[in-house]
Each structure stands twice: as structure tokens, then as C-alpha cells.
Structure 1
């Protein structure tokens, strides 16, 4: 006799807590592994290969927990998370939103750095290019930050978290809360204002499209442009610690 199928489940508070804990835990794992491997002191091609490997491992840990615990174990619905059929034109719209968010994010970073006198050190730069800019590093990092990382973060923040918030709050408040959690979860205080802006735009797109795919495209396009700017700035002699206010992934 066939086993009866469980009804598709919406995200609940337990799903949200598991998702946030997994995201933060995977990020902590990256820091620990990076320190153990000595990425900052690794040279040339060694660091260029190890950094993407660690980032990919972080994403793999999150996706494994998501698939085993939330999707298979708790029956979370991919469709209700926004991972249903791809809507027509989703890629083009997402890319346009992502590219359009670059200049506002740079402006917010500039205001934050200049007017409020915050620490301009950006750990993302040291993490993505610990030994300075290199073609190997760029070619390996770009696909990760423009495809894999956006997919993982969108599932976590605009899928599980926003899906739960939207079921309990009005759209505007759900967008604000999800964006706030998104910005704080990155763990870089000086980038919170810019990340908050990007999080609001991503949540707005999620609400408009009723799909996660345009958000993945927007996030990927934004990260891709920012990464190209970062490596270009480092290549022409910008401070390797990230004093350029353009860097926010």
C-alpha cells in the first residue's frame, strides 16, 4: 500500500530558527576553516583555490541541512518558498534590479563611511582576496558569489524567513524585518546600512514576483558587479583591507 504523502508545509518558527542557525553556523565554519588553513598567509594560487573551496563548503553544509532536515524531514514546500516554476522573464528582471542596486548601495556605503566615521575595514575583501588580486582568484570566486551564494542566501532569507514573516505580518513589515535580519546576519557592522537597502529591494522583488528566482538573479547580478569592482580596485592599487566603500556582497 503506497505511503500517503504529507501536505506541503509552509515555513514555521522552527524552520526559521534552523535556517538562521545553519546559516550562521556555516559562516562560523568558514572562519574556523580559513584560520586553520592559513588563507591570509597562503600565497598566489594556493589561496586563490582555497578561498572558493571554503565558500563552496559553506554553501554545501547549508544546502545539505536544508534538504535533509527542512525539505525531506519536515516536508517544507519548495513551491511555497518561491522555488516553483520559473516565471517568464525572471532572469532579465532580476539582473536589471541587481545592476540597478549597485550605485545606491555604493552611495549608502560612502555616506556610512564618511559621515559616521565607521571602521572602513571590510573583511569580505580579505576573505575573497587574502593574497591580493589574481586572475585565478577572480575566475574561481565570481561563479560562487554570483550563483551559489545568492541561491543559498535567497533560500534562507527570502524563502524560509520571508515566507514565515509574510504569513504573519503585513508586507511592509515583513520586508523590513527580513532585510534587517539579512543585514545583521552577515556579521559586518559597517556594511549593515547598504545590506539593509539591498535586503529591502530583494524582499520587494520577492513580493512583486511571488517567486524566488528573480531574487536569485538580482542577488547574483549585484554580487557579480560588486566583485568585479572590488577586484578591479585592488588591481589598480586600492587598499587590500577594503577602504573603498563599493564593496558589499
Structure 2
């Protein structure tokens, strides 16, 4: 049974505020470790285009995994449907776009704008990439398999930071936000179909 409009609205507000607070966490961490989280964020049409194009392989994988038979994948799909479906059920697609945009921006500013460069400066490029994305995976550890998938996606996002030869945080922000938006739409559609 769908949650009440009030609890869905509360979840949406809390999710937006929580995700936005990650930007503040990135700024605070950046201040502590002397990293400007926005240093490599620049509006660039090529970075935007790269972000949109680099989202396509992730979306193809996402849709393929929707149909995959392994039990662990079905468990993740059911978990997302049970937890997010009722909470997103009454929201318009524009609300989902807002949440996806905030999540994509804030998580990328924290993990790829602050944590990855700090660890790269401290431990080297490879260790920085892996450790920052291990933290990203832990932050998404709903199940062990989901954490592994988040690690792989994080590595992809971390590598996309330098796609095109010039570091630009806009590329992973676009990938993350666009991916989340499509995933939210699919979860919402599946939930509505299940009612």
C-alpha cells in the first residue's frame, strides 16, 4: 500500500536536504584538507556532451540488470522498489529530476571534487581513485552486491572526471544526475505497475 502523501513529501524533502548537505560536507572537508571542491568545475559544452554520452553505457547496463535472473540482482530491484517506490509514488517527474540533480551534484562534489583529489594528492592517482570510490561504495552499501556495483560506478565516474583530456567535474555530475533521474523514473514506473 502506498505511503501517505505527507510521509512521501517528508521523505522527498529530507532526501533533498540530506543530499544538499553533502555539498556542505564537501566544502568543510575541502577547507580541512585545503582542496577547493569547485576548482575543477567549469561550464563546458564538451564536458556536458561527454557526460550525456557516457551515461548511455551505464543506462544500458541498468536496463540489462533489470532483466537479469540472478537472485541477488532481483533482491536489489525488490529492495529499491519497496523502499523508493512508495516514497516517490506521488511525485511528478520534475520532482525526481530535482532530487537526481541535487544528488548528482552533491555526491560528485564530495566524492570526485574533494575526496578523490585529496587522496590523489596524498597517495597517488590510482590509490586516490580506488579509496575515494571505496568510500562511495560504503555510502551506498544497501547490500554487498549493491556496494560492489556502486564501487564500479564510482570508478567509472572517477575516470570520467578526466575524460576528454581535461579534468572537469561537470562530466561526472551530468552522468550521475542523468543516471539517477532515469533510475528513479524506472523505479516509479515499476512500482506503479505493481499496484
Maintained 8 Å contact 1:91/1:214: yes
Unaligned residue ranges in structure 1 (runs of 5+): 1-39, 239-249
Q: Which residue of 1 aligns with 2:97?
A: 142
Provide the secondary structure at the position in 2 that maps to 1:130. helix
Going from structure 1 to structure 2, the CA distance change for 1:90 and 1:50 (only over 3 Å counts) comes to same
Maintained 8 Å contact 1:154/1:212: yes
Provide the secondary structure at the position in 2 that maps to 1:187. coil
TM-score normalised by the chain length of structure 2: 0.79
Structure-to-structure mapping, 1:1-249, within 5 angstroms:
42-43=3-4, 45-67=5-27, 69-70=28-29, 76-80=35-39, 82-83=40-41, 85-107=42-64, 114=70, 119-120=75-76, 123-130=79-86, 133-134=89-90, 136=91, 138-145=93-100, 147-189=101-143, 190-208=145-163, 209-237=166-194
Maintained 8 Å contact 1:108/1:194: no
Q: Distance in 1 between matches of 2:132 and 2:87?
A: 34
Unaligned residue ranges in structure 2 (runs of 5+): none
> By percentage of residues, which structure has more helix?
2
TM-score normalised by the chain length of structure 1: 0.64
- The count of residues paired between Structure 1 and Structure 2 equals 192
In our comparison, the structure showing a higher alpha carbon Rg is 1
Whose relative contact order is higher, 1 or 2, with alpha carbons under 8 Å and at least 6 apart?
Answer: 2
